[in-house]
Amino acid sequence: MIGLGNPGLQYARTRHNVGADCVALLGERHGERLVHSRKEHAEVAELRVAPGMRRLVVAFPSTFYNEAGRAARALVLRHGIDDPAKVVVVHDELDLPVGRIKVKAGGGLAGNKGLKSIKANLQTDEFVRIRIGVDKPPSSQQGADHVLRKPGKREREELDVCIAEAADAVELILTDGIERAMERYNRKEP
């Protein structure tokens, strides 16, 4: 599982880093610390998720968001992943309102440069995405300004709930499969 975001304290807890926040939450839930791996261009932890203590590798790329594909390729090679459907990417989504998440298998990239980088490096778009809604910016702002800003208190609380749901979705995909996760999270009303 790869959580997208930008490295550095200035980007921590911004809308753009909800994927990174999901990685941190999963590590915390399972008592594991992320460790920097130069070869994988990421902060990485290996988790054991019940039932059956299934193995889950979580990673936050140490590259910038738009270059996340370098880490994705290194992680896939390192862990011998031969099925792109076993790669789950958690990221922010302008086309969803705050308070919503959606699980998606393969398909279009909707202009997301991090996903484009992953597609280019894995040479496929058949990986799974968990999209966390951050809503479109007000008309006076552009998308980049919106996602790189920290949300207000109320929105932060909503995003924290979504990040926890995204972490639940990652675990559900691992234990019960993508279809079950899509059933559970894609029908949810805001």
Residues designated catalytic: 16
Distance (Å, rounded) from C-alpha 68 to C-alpha 112?
11
Distance (Å, rounded) from C-alpha 87 to C-alpha 76?
8
Residue 129 near residue 166 (C-beta atoms within 8 A): no
Question: What is the dihedral sign for C-alpha 157, 162, 164, 165?
Answer: positive
Distance (Å, rounded) from C-alpha 97 to C-alpha 54?
32
Distance (Å, rounded) from C-alpha 149 to C-alpha 94?
13
